Amino acid sequence: MSPEELVQAALAVRERAYAPFSKYLVGAALLTKSGNVYTGCNVENSSYGLTVCAERNAVFKAVSEEGKIEVEAIAVVTRDLASMCGACRQVVNEFGPKAKVYLADCDGNVNATSVDALLPGAFRFEND
């Protein structure tokens, strides 16, 4: 899947976000090494600590469907090219420390980076 297609998948799922409090819709599309794509959107809750980000939704969906995964790339679409929060960076790092990251907005602007660049010196517990 091309980066453009991954961004389009994230843009499409962004419309399903449940964000009645922040009004900040986020969509994510995750590509695993196996070639499967998993999408997620942010889901807010009136008890704010229970809110789940789009990126973690996509990762958790991939794990629940495939088991052990390796993230090849993730696209995140917001209204303003925002980056992933720290928690999402750490979760994506767990499954794809070398993964490509495409940060996009609704106007088609895309910034390409990597998990390594977003989370230098990341905590990793190797348990093989």
User: Which parts are annotated binding residues for substrate?
Assistant: 42-48
Q: How many residues does the chain have?
A: 128
Q: Please state whether beta strands 71-78 and 100-105 pair in parallel, antiparallel, or not at all (unpaired).
A: parallel
List residues forming the annotated binding site: 42-48, 53, 85, 88
Round to whole Å and give the CA distance between 43 and 71.
22
Q: Please state whether beta strands 37-41 and 27-32 pair in parallel, antiparallel, or not at all (unpaired).
A: antiparallel
Round to whole Å and give the CA distance between 126 and 117.
20
- How many other CB atoms are there within 10 angstroms of residue 89's CB atom? 17
List residues forming the annotated binding site for Zn(2+): 53, 85, 88
Catalytic residue set: 55
